[in-house]
Amino acid sequence: MTQTLKTKVLIIGAGTGGYVAGIRCGQLGLDTILVDGGDGLGGTCLNVGCIPSKAIIHAASKFETVSKAANGGTLGITVADPVIDLAQTVTWKDGIVRKLNGGVAALLKKARVKVIKGWAHFSDAKTCTVKTDDGDIVISAEHVILATGSEPVELPFLKFGGDVISSTEALSLDAVPERLVVVGGGYIGLELGIAYRKLGAQVAIVEMADRILPLYDKALTDPVAKWLEKHGVELHLGAKAGGFGDGQLSITTRDGTPMQLPADKVLVTVGRRPRTKGWGLENMGVTMDGPFVKIDDRCATNMKNVWAVGDLTGEPMLAHKGSAQGEVVAEIVAGHDRRFDPVTIAAVCFTEPEIVSAGLGPLDVEGRDDVIQAVFPLAAIGRALAIEAGEDGGFVRVLASKSDHRLLGIQAVGQHVAELSNSFAQMLEMGAVLEDVAGVIHVHPTLGEAFHEASLRALGHAIHI
C-alpha cells in the first residue's frame, strides 16, 4: 500500500546539515518531513565520522599515557603493563553514538519534525518516493532541502571489503591489527593511523604527495611528521599504492621501485565524494558544479525552492559548515533575509599534535609584502608545559594586514589546540584587528595566552619571548 504525504519542507539526509535544518524549520513553525536513509540520525559525523573517531582517538591517547607509565614511568607515575580490549572500547564508543542519536531524535520530536526512515528517490524536483519497511510513501513538498552528505572514495584496485577497509570499518574493529597500512596521508588517514599506532599497531602510511597533509603549510605539519618519526610510523611519500593480496600491499616508491608492505588491514582514506547517486538527483534538473550541486549564497539551486547544504555543495566538507547552511536555509524558507557568507570556516586535524587553521595561511599570501606574520611558541606558555603540550614544536601564528592590522588568518599546532578554533573563527568573523586581541585580558594559565602573545608579537611587543 502506497501512502501519500504533502509538506511545506522536505529534507533528504539526517546528517549535521539535514537534522539541524529540520530542527530550525520546526522551531520556526514550518511543517517538515526529514527522510533518513543513510547512517542514522546525525549522519556520517555522529555515526561513523567525527564523534566516533574522536572517541577512539581519546581512548588511544589514554592507552598511550598508561603505556608510558608502564615503561619507565611518566610524571612520577608507574603502573603495570596495560592491555587494550578494542571490542570493549568500540562498545563504549557505540554507547556514545547511541546517546547522541537519541538526543537528536528527541530534539527533532520536540521541534515536531516527522522523521521517516527509508531511501528516497526523486521523480521530479519536488516529489520523491520513500521505500520503508512498511511500504512506499510518496512525498510532495513546497521546499526541498538536499543534505545527502558524502561517502568514502573507493580505489578501483583497492575495493572495500575484507581486509581493505574505509574509515567506517576502522572505527568498529574488534581487535588492534598487528600491521596497518594507511593509503592516504590526509587528515582522516593520519588521525586514525596515529590512533592505531598509540594502540600498539605497526603503522605505515602511503601518500602520493611529497609530504603529509599537503593542504597545510610545512610549518604546521612538521610537528606531526616528527611525532610519526619518533613513534616508528613508516612513511612512504611520493608513493603510489597498488593491489592487495596474501597480506601484502603493492606500492611503487617515489623513485619507481616496487615494494610489498605487509598488512593485516589496509585503510583507504584518499578522500570523500558527494553522495549524488541512487536517489534520483538526475531527475531534479539541478545544475552541477563538477561533482557537487551548484548553489548560490542562499544555498539555493537553480530550481525554485530546491536547496542544498553540507558536503553535497562542495569544499570544505565539514560538519559545522553543513549545520550553518541548514540554519540559513530554514530561516530563508520561513521568510527571513539570510545569506551564507562566512568570513572563515575553521578546520581542525585531530592528529598528534592537533592542527587548527582559520582564514588565510602563509601559502595564500606568499609573495605579498602587505601582510604581518607572527608566531608564538607553546613552549613559552606555562599551561602548555604543565600538561606536556609545549614539547612538540607547537605554536600559534597570526597573519594580519600591515596597513590596518585586520586579522587575515590564524593557525596553531600543538596538543589540545583544537579548543582554540572557535576563538580564532570568532575573531576573524567579527573583523578583529591585532589590537582587539591584544586588548582582551586572556585567562592565565591557558593555551589561549599563545594567541594573545602572537598578536602582541605581531604588534612588536610580545611579553613572554
Largest CA distance in the chain: 74
Identify the residue whose cell numbers are 586588548.
439
Confirm if 222 and 210 have CB atoms less than 8 A apart: no
For 363, the grid coordinates are: 601559502
DSSP state of 7: E
Q: Which amino acid is at 400?
A: A
- Which CA distances in Å does 370 have to 344, 395, 455? 20, 23, 16
How far apart CA 203 and CA 183 sit, in angstroms, is 11
How far apart CA 172 and CA 102 sit, in angstroms, is 20
Count Cβ neighbours within 10 Å for each residue of 347-367 and write b for 16 or more, e otherwise. bbbbbbbbbbbbbbbbeebee
Q: Which amino acid is at 119?
A: W
Q: What is the CA radius of gyration of the chain?
A: 24
How far apart CA 446 and CA 442 sit, in angstroms, is 8
For 288, the grid coordinates are: 552541477
Q: Is 464 a catalytic residue?
A: no
User: From the candidates 444, 452, 461, 464, which is the catalytic residue?
Assistant: 444
Question: Where in the sequence numbering do the catalytic residues fall?
Answer: 444
